[in-house]
Amino acid sequence: MNISSIVVQVRNEFVDSVVKEIKNCDFCDYHFHDVSIGKIIVTVEGESIGQEMEKVKKIEELKHVITAEMMMSYSEDELDREREALGKSDAVPDILKNDAIRAEDITYNGDLKKKF
């Protein structure tokens, strides 16, 4: 399951009517608005990022909406995949596990200054 926060931008005079329409729709959840800056905060949920983007497009199509931008996204499935991959990886390189190797004998090749 994915969930994302969306910032909806409208002109100040249309905030109340867009908020009312958002509250009555079935594709997003209303959370907050600020008439003085014309912003409305909503969330969308979906099984995939594709489903979420379809909902963002529906928000963008509402009358008086200037933009609807995804600000933050959370994916349980992706988080689980990354945790599994991290658990299977060896986080400490073999060279650092060898007590016989002295730090002075390790050559670091990651200096960007040497590449330019």
- Please give the tally of structural domains in the chain: 1
pLDDT score of 112: 57
Q: Which amino acid is at 22?
A: I
CA pair distance 90, 85, nearest whole angstrom: 10
Phi and psi of 73, rounded to 5°?
-135, 145
More confident residue, 29 or 73: 29
Contact (CB, 8 A) for 10 and 66: yes
Q: Quick one: average pLDDT of 16-45?
A: 97
pLDDT of 24 higher than 80: yes
The parent domain of residue 37 ranges over: 1-116
Q: What is the CATH number of the domain that holds 94?
A: 3.30.70.920
Q: What mean pLDDT value characterizes the chain?
A: 86
88-108, pLDDT tens digit by residue?
777 677 767 778 877 787 777
pLDDT score of 88: 78
Radius of gyration of the CA atoms of the chain, in A? 24
